[in-house]
Amino acid sequence: MIMAVLFHCEWEEGEQILQDLSAQIPDMDIRIWPDVGDPTEIEFAIVWKLPHGELAKCPNLRAILSPGAGVDHLFEDLDLPDDVPIGRLIDPLMADRMAEYTASLTLWSHRRFDDYAVLQSRKVWQQVAQKDAKDRGVGILGLGALGLASARCLRPFGFALSGWSRTAKSEPGVTCYHGDDTLAQFLGGAEVLICLLPLTSATRGILNAATFGQMPAGAYLINCARGALVVEDDLLAALDSGQLSGAALDVFDIEPLPDDNPLWTHPKVRITPHVSSLTAAETAAPMLAAQILQVQRGEPLDGRVDPGAEY
């Protein structure tokens, strides 16, 4: 039976995802928003930042799928149907890409290349004191698929790895913390903090003056999760005071980052344009197709989101 699928993804990769998805399930009737046709015919929605209220117009939805790792864009819709399962994309290639990004910046910070860049700009030949990896605490805030991939990539370097998550996790070579009552203890050992938390109502603004103050003086922040996890004014204050020695930021509350944002020119900030772990059409499309077929067969949906946790 031909199924109607609502599609909305305005990334550069969106068109390729659409083509590859059509090749995976040739008999799909793909409706590209806003050309929805009869919304009662739509059984599946593959959407990224669809205008709010549109999903509520589709009364026969069987699943809502995200073409990216995050689902916070869905929960921002106050009219999101509460009886339709939501699937997030768990793509090993995306996890590998994230691990490359976080490992690169962890090593950059650990080997103090920012300091050497400043010395080079002054034409100063000077060595900077260096810790060994075993003496460097690296904390991963969020131990989902991306966080665990980053931990496994960093493990061979011998860092003192730790991780924090909402629920209990276990990973060889990583000291694992969970629950709000252990967050301060976790942060206290994070000389490099890699933020990979999902954005939810509970995590919004979690990196703020209080949590920065719980980190070791001179700690380094790597955020490649969501910009709204960070209170930007508090971050700037922590950088200016020296509580943080630097920050590598791939995500921002407003994207693209406005020209007048002070992060652009802050000497302790490195900026990349949300590139840490881009969706790859060649791996995403088969996974999205597999999720659709799972629902059609009445099987459990891979990557099913817990609405209460919002991820």
Q: Which one-letter amino acid corresponds to residue 25?
A: I
Q: CA–CA distance from 178 to each of 23, 147, 199 (Å)?
A: 42, 14, 17
Distances from the Cα of 27 to the Cα of 3, 38, 85, 113, 198, angstroms = 7, 18, 23, 53, 34
Beta-strand pair 175-178/244-249: unpaired
Q: 222: which strand partners?
A: 194, 248
pTM of the model: 0.96
**Phi/psi of residue 164, nearest 5 degrees:** -130, 140
Active site residues: 226, 274
Fold of 4-91+279-296: Rossmann fold (3.40.50)
- C-alpha–C-alpha distance, residues 248 and 227, integer Å: 12
Provide the total of helices (H) and of strands (E) in the chain, helices listed first.
9, 12
- Residue 82 and residue 61 in contact, taking contact as beta carbons nearer than 8 Å: no
| Crossing angle of helices 281-296 and 14-24, rounded to 10° | 50
- Cα gap 111→95, rounded to integer Å: 24
Q: Which helix (H) or strand (E) holds 271?
A: strand 269-271
Q: How far apart are CA 163 and CA 161, in angstroms?
A: 7
The three-state secondary structure class of 137 is: strand
CB 213 within 8 A of CB 237: no
In CATH terms, the fold of domain 92-271 is Rossmann fold (3.40.50)
Domains 4-91+279-296 and 92-271 share a fold: yes
**Tens digit of pLDDT per residue, the chain (311 long)?**
689 999 999 998 999 999 999 999 999 999 999 999 999 999 999 999 999 999 999 999 999 999 999 999 999 999 999 999 999 999 999 999 999 999 999 999 999 999 999 999 999 999 999 999 999 999 999 999 999 999 999 999 999 999 999 999 999 999 999 999 999 999 999 999 999 999 999 999 999 999 999 999 999 999 999 999 999 999 999 999 999 999 999 999 999 999 999 999 999 999 999 999 999 999 999 999 999 999 999 999 999 999 999 99
* Three-state secondary structure call for residue 265: helix
In the chain, domain spans = 4-91+279-296, 92-271
Please give the helix or strand (H or E) that residue 62 lies within, else none.
Answer: none
